Amino acid sequence: MSEGPRISRSDREARKRAMELLRAKLLEISEQIKKGNPPEILIPKRTLSNTVYDSQRKLLLLGNEKFRRNFIDLNESRRFMQTALMSSIIYNALLNDEYPTIRDLYYRGKHSISLKDEATGKVYEENTWDEQKESDSVIVDIEVFTSLLREEMLILSKEKGKVVGDMRIRSGNDVIDLSKLGHGAYAIEPTPDLVEFLDVNADYVLVVEKDAVFQQLHRAGFWKQYKCLLITSAGQPDRATRRFVRRLSEELKLPVYILTDADPYGWYIYSVFRIGSIMLSYESERLATPDGKFLGVSMDDIFGSKTKKAYLSEAERRNFIIKAKDADIKRAQEIRSYDWFKTKAWQNEIDVFLQRKAKLEIEAMASKGLKFLAFNYIPEKIQTRDWIS
């Protein structure tokens, strides 16, 4: 392995570890073949039925169900070949100090295989994979099969999440001060485990779903005034943002508050941060933040309750509330049935939604005045512990 100056120590170690694990797993296959056995791998099943909610650890985890992928099985043969092919490409990238994206991996592995049957003159031709969806899915298989996340294999994805706050980190060989980025923010890198937390001066982490709201809060000096780290996932959180938030929570013991729209999609974003996603439950153990709290916007923020006055007036409600669509209702009912939403507070929240059929975007709160959102709504909610978990 070349040890150019640009490669940081953490990077080097990550590569070494990933290569060793990957190699050990793949050599097992070669061993089977040499013994004359049909090559076979055991892969945990990635289905809803094999997704288990661990209520103690408050995580969505992959169950124990595994399936055997045998090369000598007409339905699995192609996928088996793809798994080995993708593994070898990832391995080569690790070996050559590269950081491929999943799209790079797609192109590197894509080629045609042609088989000519000279007995019949027929030629069978196909590609190793056709669409990126197919190769992406193979990458997930490898993650599950090797218990190595793609970040650990130094595979890059698009940067999506951003962070600002009074904090210094080391990324590569540079130290970055997250409080000195002007109007900009630090894009959370796809390999958050290579980031070293140097020092931090914050009391909590605020994650906002909407990038626009993040920018407004940033410019308003919110994080300075309230001593927090401000993060946005810009919609559905990517893995790097989730891992970054998880590390802040786990390593720095900072409380995490999550602010989304008041609708089923907002709830699910919160759920992905906190518990993990159903599709990728195998990664929850490293990505989820079980202590994360749903700060809002909640139904009683909009409508009030017996014990709480609404943040919106009657007139504002009339103007800001969006009527829920059939798809929203359906999604809400689905979410209501998930084990991890079966707390009293959440069931109540969803029931109010189903009853009122009303949703609200955070921007509506901001339109009451940015100052209201930044210096009234959010701090008050945190101070009064007005969240759902």
Partner 1 sequence: MSSDSKERFASISPAEFFKRNPELVGFSNPSRALYQSVRETVENSLDATDIHLILPSVKVSLDRIDLEKEVYRLTIEDNGIGIPPQVVPNAFGKVLYSSKYTIRQTRGMYGLGVKAVLLYSQMYQDRPFEVQTSPRGSNRVYYFKLKIDISRNEPIIFHRSSIENPTGWHGTIITVYLVGDWLRSKQKIYEYIKRTYILSPYAEFTFRDPEGNITYYPRVTNKLPRPPEEVKPHPYGVDIELLKYLIATLRYQYDVRSFLINEFQSIGEITAEEILKQAGVSSSTPASKLTDDQISKLVEVMKKYEKFRPPSADALSTLGEELITIGLNKVFSPDMVSAETRKPKAYQGHPFIVEAGIAYGGAIPPSEFPIVLRYANKIPLVYDEKSDVIWKVVEEIDWRRYGIEENQFPLVVLVHLCSTKVPYKSAGKESIADVEEIEKEIKFAIMSAARQLRLFLLERKKQEDERKRMLTYMKYIPELARSLAVFEASNENEIDSRAKELEKKLIEIVSKKVGLNDPTLYDKLKVEIS
Q: Of 77-85, 236-244, 276-284, 331-339, which segment contacts partner 1 by CB under 8 A?
A: 77-85
Q: Which of 13, 65, 126, 339 binds partner 1 (CB under 8 A)?
A: 126
Rounded CA-CA distance 150/158 in Å is: 13
CA distance 272 to 352: 22
Using CB under 8 A as the binding rule, whether residue 33 contacts partner 1 is answered as yes
- Of positions 1, 9, 65, 92, contacts partner 1 by CB under 8 A: 92
- Does residue number 29 form part of the binding site for partner 1 (CB under 8 A)? yes
What minimum distance in Å lies between the beta carbon of 80 and partner 1? 7
Q: Rounded to the nearest whole angstrom, what is the least distance from the CB of residue 129 to partner 1 in the complex?
A: 11
Give the tokens for residue 360: 């609200």
Residue 37 C-beta: closest distance to partner 1, Å: 7
Under the binding rule (CB under 8 A), the answer on residue 81 touching partner 1 is: yes
**Residues assigned a catalytic role:** 107
Tell which positions 105-124 bind partner 1, by CB under 8 A.
111-119, 124
Q: For partner 1, which residue of 40, 63, 91, 134 counts as binding (CB under 8 A)?
A: 91
In the complex, minimum distance from the CB of residue 156 to partner 1, in angstroms, rounded to a whole number: 21
- Nearest in space to 356 (alpha carbons), one of 312, 302, 296, 314: 302
| Residue 1 binds to partner 1 (criterion: CB under 8 A) | no
Applying CB under 8 A, which residues contact partner 1?
A: 22-23, 26-27, 29-30, 33-34, 36-39, 71-72, 74, 77-78, 80-81, 84-85, 87-88, 91-92, 111-119, 124, 126, 128
